[in-house]
Structure 1
């Protein structure tokens, strides 16, 4: 049994009760785990004050915190490669459960960490170590989740299943955004520095362990079970097989992951800090717009996953990339004119960012089942580490030439590359080994 390819539309089968249960539990666990990973960014300001020496310049402390945040991205390939190896050899479910445990534990510990005033330089070092552990966990979680739900999905429903799972992951961003907005609104700056910053980590850690318990009820994917029964599991190192015979799939996966990285990082996670002061927007408007955009992102992921099942992944990627280009420039044109329509256009752009759900559909189809986890994980995590860690620097370099619209141009460049990938897959589909 092999997961149906989402490259072309195929006759669909209804989701069974078991399929719905699997999808719900996978999406719920993914949301909680992704929340744990990104909530660090929403409390970066208190962390920059508390985990470094009192005399540290504010800009340097913030830069160091963002450096620790980026370390999580750099650690993703390690977790992805190791977990994917055992996922292809020992089973998807085991790694799927391990990844959420490895995320819940360090998140909870971060919420309990002593700060620099209490333990000195050990505080930022411990924070860095725990952040790296989070990166290892998310490196195995996201690719594993996509493979898990795709291999459970019936024919004609792979796009919807993967899109729904991706929506669940993005709900984690929404939860972090809402909680951070509520804390900043309800607590004074002094309270945030005293104890408020710990709340998101403690909540995330507790609910992460709930996700570990819930995943006990998931079953191994039919695809892996069938391979194990027929003794078709990879006899050599799965990653070696990927690099030897599937570099085309790796290249296409990495190029589309660039768009995914830029859309999520720039338009959802970073945009509030990128536009508030340069365009003189009110803090409350920015926070509300970010929450609405994250909500529309979750809806957009489901829509674009459904679209994959209707018109195929290549066409869905083309449509989504074009929409992202137009929407991003439209949002920044409005900001340059005063931002009168910010609370309408930003959620609309969030919906278009949902086109990132097409990317895992392409990646699932790019690798055969025996090495699917390793191939997808390697391409996705290496690309995310490279582009995720360099996004801020690249935008900074572009800003020297084009000014405050640099983030828009960066996203559009990546969307244009993704559009070309969609055209390539559409034209060469019969000649590409999927």
Structure 2
């Protein structure tokens, strides 16, 4: 492990801590991963109940209109992510990764609490959907800051030849969160009556998210800080912020957003949208459709570490390029196959097939973007790039996909959205250098 990390405070700065005193690998990875996964669980569990939430909170006629408003509210959570990424990312760069991650956990818990206590439209009128929107904004703000801080911390514990592996645990934790949400959703939809699920059962996953927030804080308490905080008045202290991100690293920001677009569009179609798609388009019951989320998450959990190690070995850019090309080639035929004769078995097979290139692509993409920024703005730089890219092309991917189906009458239209975003992302990949194996700071 690199002798430059982790760090400890010394005379107003963070000085290197000898490698022999570094926290053990497994404890570090577990502490960061569990906390990050808990936050993503709270944020993503909404997608499994989007259809039901649409019925309870949005007073429009027709299931399509209800779903569109519910998916729009899902996307609203991404509107706050760039702001959260910027403010909490700057906080993480200046004060420390650990305080920033603690703040995001509490904010996420507050957003989940609103889901637990919010009355439905039948009970409170327009106040009900407004509370749901506020809850999503809070969750989005929190998650925007969590990604940058936790990914930077993971990779700053690594050496020059293992950053891909360490960074992969960010995506592993997201996969675990989706898997946990899907398992909880399956248990509730198959274990409760429709009336009980609609009355109170859908709130249970959010209540679980609140209860485990203290666990995340407890697990992370012994992590050692890695942020390099310059002393007031030190050279670069004034620049290390928003101006440096956009002026000093403007090309990286543009390229990073373009790279992010390709991965996030596919992520939110394959991992999150397929449950709603199966219910509304394929007419597969919700209790069965949620299994698609389980399969996609299992593939992500199983492959994330391998994807990180592969990018350490062959390079970030080759790993991203070939997996992205594979997605472009496979996604439309996969949707055509699925729509020819819909069945649960075919749905699960298609989701598993698409999840393979997705994971092999997204892991090195996140690692690459993180490596392009210097440590003093790494958390904020990644947060801004990631959140801008995810805002429209990920957060509203489900809404756009549903709208495209309605507009074109083509049930495979979501695949066209993934292909378009994937092609655009190749421009960003061509703009950045290879970073695998190179010393960053």
Question: Structure 2 length normalisation: TM-score?
Answer: 0.86
Contact 2:114 2:131 survives alignment (8 Å): no
Aligned to 1:187: 192
For the residues of structure 2 that align with 1:332 and 1:317, how far apart are their CA atoms?
22
How far is the alpha carbon of 1:414 from its aligned partner?
2.2
**Residues 333-352 of structure 1 mapped to structure 2, 5 A cutoff:** 333-339=336-342, 341-352=346-357
Moved more, 263-272 or 414-423: 414-423
For the residues of structure 2 that align with 1:2 and 1:247, how far apart are their CA atoms?
27
**Residues 4-403 of structure 1 mapped to structure 2, 5 A cutoff:** 18-52=24-58, 57-221=62-226, 224=228, 234-236=237-239, 238-279=241-282, 281=284, 286-339=289-342, 341-354=346-359, 355-392=361-398, 394-395=400-401, 398-399=404-405, 400-401=407-408, 403=410
For the residues of structure 2 that align with 1:131 and 1:300, how far apart are their CA atoms?
29
> Match of 1:155, SS?
coil
Which ranges of 4 or more aligned residues in structure 1 deviate by more than 6 Å? none
For the residues of structure 2 that align with 1:344 and 1:111, how far apart are their CA atoms?
34
For the residues of structure 1 that align with 2:233 and 2:307, how far apart are their CA atoms?
35
For the residues of structure 2 that align with 1:397 and 1:125, how far apart are their CA atoms?
23
For the residues of structure 1 that align with 2:306 and 2:410, how far apart are their CA atoms?
34
Distance 1:416 1:59, change over 3 A: closer
Distance 1:39 1:233, change over 3 A: farther
**RMSD value, Cα:** 3.0
How far is the alpha carbon of 1:230 from its aligned partner?
12
Distance 1:100 1:126, change over 3 A: same
Contact 2:86 2:380 survives alignment (8 Å): yes
Q: Which runs of 5+ in 2 are unaligned?
A: 6-18
Can you list the C-alpha shifts for 1:47-70, whole angstroms capped at 9, x where unaligned? 2333345x7554444333323222
How far is the alpha carbon of 1:120 from its aligned partner?
3.3
Contact 1:79 1:135 survives alignment (8 Å): yes
For the residues of structure 2 that align with 1:45 and 1:241, how far apart are their CA atoms?
42
Contact 1:163 1:302 survives alignment (8 Å): yes
Aligned to 2:420: 413
How far is the alpha carbon of 1:401 from its aligned partner?
4.4
Distance 1:126 1:402, change over 3 A: closer
How far is the alpha carbon of 1:280 from its aligned partner?
5.3
Contact 2:50 2:276 survives alignment (8 Å): no
For the residues of structure 1 that align with 2:91 and 2:237, how far apart are their CA atoms?
11
Question: Structure 1 length normalisation: TM-score?
Answer: 0.87
> Match of 2:39, SS?
helix
For the residues of structure 2 that align with 1:85 and 1:426, how far apart are their CA atoms?
25
For the residues of structure 2 that align with 1:308 and 1:246, how far apart are their CA atoms?
24
Aligned to 2:11: none
Can you list the C-alpha shifts for 1:13-34, whole angstroms capped at 9, x where unaligned? 99x7622211111111111110
Distance 1:199 1:233, change over 3 A: farther
How far is the alpha carbon of 1:341 from its aligned partner?
4.2
How far is the alpha carbon of 1:196 from its aligned partner?
0.4
For the residues of structure 1 that align with 2:56 and 2:399, how far apart are their CA atoms?
25
> Match of 2:310, SS?
helix
Distance 1:421 1:70, change over 3 A: closer
Distance 1:151 1:230, change over 3 A: farther
The structure with the greater share of residues assigned to helix is 1
Contact 2:48 2:185 survives alignment (8 Å): yes
For the residues of structure 2 that align with 1:20 and 1:27, how far apart are their CA atoms?
10
For the residues of structure 1 that align with 2:188 and 2:178, how far apart are their CA atoms?
15
Contact 1:101 1:212 survives alignment (8 Å): no
